[in-house]
């Protein structure tokens, strides 16, 4: 009964937000096959097959093959795993850092802590983070990086750098809600009861900040996917031969003039579909969760 009503309610919400539902479906179309890629009956994404190189889309290779005869459909599906992992990792990490700092700054209104944290956000906003990310990846990218015995992979570096560029915006959203909540009666009552600041910030204020953070985070997933693809495209992201949408497009550059259009078109379409999906979802979530709109628009 409960499951039935939950389903009904979900359907009701979906009917009220047609474009959000379309977004959800678009994301599902890309993410689900990506998750299932290891068990789906598709070709090995890295299997070289020189007999079938640069094959146009046909029955055997639905989206064609690349210069090494690798199946593009398979590579796009495997590539979605890279994109989604990095995008979710970056947004998640950015939330962890930004939201924590933002909540604390709002709660400690009027103290040096607030001043310090908001100053750090201001400074991060004045940094061209895409340019910095490219410079940092370019300098440390090729060398093996080890921190305290852990080997840092390229994907982790990308996650950290993209997260750094999202943290201040996510932090400001959390800060705005925290400022309001910290002055509310229920928080004052909790304080009077002797609750510690950790408890108040994370158990009372955080739940109220979550809706606007979720909206912002969903919109950032799309941005993260584009940033990752751009970095991989210029050769400073995911390193070949691992399948990623950006590196596939980098390969495509060579074949644009000789007529092999499918190598350039399909990976980019995959990016577009996924990002449109996340943006439509973010828009719908904004109407649903954050109608007053304290979450900012999508900027990198």
Partner 1 sequence: MLGFLLSRLVSGLIAIVSVSALVFWLIRTVPTSPALLVLGADAGDTVVAAFEAKYGLDQPILQQYATWIWRALTRFDFGQSYISGRPITTEIALTLPVTLELIVVSMTLCLLISIPLGTLSAFRPGSILDHAARAIAVIGVSTPGFWLGLVLILILSVRLGWFPPGDLPPVSQGIAAHAHSIVLPAFCLAIYYTAIISRMTRSSILEVLNQDYVRTAVAMGLPKSRVRLIYVLRNAMIPIVSVVAMSCGYMFGWAIVVEQVFNIPGVCRALLAGIFSRDYNLVLAAVLVITVAFVLLNILADVLYRVLNPRLSW
Residues of this chain that interact with partner 1 (CB under 8 A) are: 119, 122-132, 134-136, 138-140, 143, 222, 226, 229-230, 233-236, 249, 252-253, 256-257, 259, 261, 264-265, 267-268, 271-272, 275-276, 279-280, 283, 297-300
Output 42 or 72, the one with its CB closest to partner 1.
72
Q: Please give the Cα distance from 277 to 27 (Å, whole number).
A: 5
Structure tokens at 264: 């350039």
In DSSP notation, 194-242 reads T--HHHIIIIIIHHHHHHHHHHHHHHHHHHHHHHHHHHHHTTSSSPTTS
129: left (phi over 0), alpha (psi -120 to 50) or beta: alpha
Output 84 or 226, the one with its CB closest to partner 1.
226
Selection from 41, 45, 39, 40 nearest residue 78 by Cα: 45
Nearest approach, Cβ of residue 15 and partner 1 (Å) = 19
Tell me which DSSP letter residue 56 carries: P
Residue with tokens 């799309």: 222
Output 100 or 274, the one with its CB closest to partner 1.
274
Output 55 or 83, the one with its CB closest to partner 1.
83
| Residue 76 CA to its chain's centroid (Å) | 17
Strand partners, 151: 146
Provide the angle, in degrees to the nearest 10, between the axes of the packed helices 206-233 and 129-140.
60
Output 239 or 276, the one with its CB closest to partner 1.
276
Output 40 or 234, the one with its CB closest to partner 1.
234
Output 198 or 256, the one with its CB closest to partner 1.
256
In DSSP notation, 142-184 reads SS-EEETTEEEPHHHHHHHHHHHHHHHHHHHHHHHHHHHHHTS
Cβ neighbours for 77, distance < 8 A, ≥ 6 positions apart:
33, 34, 37, 40, 42, 45
């Amino acid at each position: 009964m409960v499951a039935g009503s939950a389903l009904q309610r979900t359907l009701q919400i979906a009917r009220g937000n047609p474009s959000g539902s379309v977004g959800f479906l678009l994301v599902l179309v890309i993410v689900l096959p990506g998750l299932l890629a290891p068990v789906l009956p598709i070709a090995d994404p890295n299997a070289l097959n020189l007999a079938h190189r640069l094959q146009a889309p046909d029955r055997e290779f639905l989206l064609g093959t690349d210069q090494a005869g690798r199946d593009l459909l398979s590579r796009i599906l495997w590539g979605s795993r890279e994109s989604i992992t990095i995008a979710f990792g970056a947004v998640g990490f950015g939330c962890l850092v930004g939201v924590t700092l933002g909540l604390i700054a709002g709660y400690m209104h009027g103290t040096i802590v607030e001043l310090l944290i908001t100053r750090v956000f201001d400074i991060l906003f004045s940094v061209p983070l895409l340019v910095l990310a490219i410079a940092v990846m370019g300098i440390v990218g090729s060398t093996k990086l080890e921190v305290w015995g852990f080997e840092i992979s390229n994907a982790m570096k990308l996650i950290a750098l993209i997260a750094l560029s999202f943290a201040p915006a996510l932090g400001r959203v959390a800060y705005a809600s925290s400022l309001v909540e910290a002055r509310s009666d229920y928080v004052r009552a909790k304080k009077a009861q002797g609750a510690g600041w950790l408890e108040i910030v994370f158990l009372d204020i955080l739940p109220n900040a979550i809706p606007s953070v979720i909206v912002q985070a969903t919109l950032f997933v799309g941005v993260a996917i584009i940033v990752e693809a751009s970095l991989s495209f210029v050769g400073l992201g995911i390193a070949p031969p691992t399948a990623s949408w950006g590196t596939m497009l980098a390969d495509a550059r060579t074949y644009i003039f000789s007529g092999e259009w499918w190598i350039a078109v399909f990976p980019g379409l995959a990016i577009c579909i996924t990002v449109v999906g996340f943006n439509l979802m973010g828009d719908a979530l904004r109407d649903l969760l954050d109608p007053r709109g304290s979450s900012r628009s999508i900027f990198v």
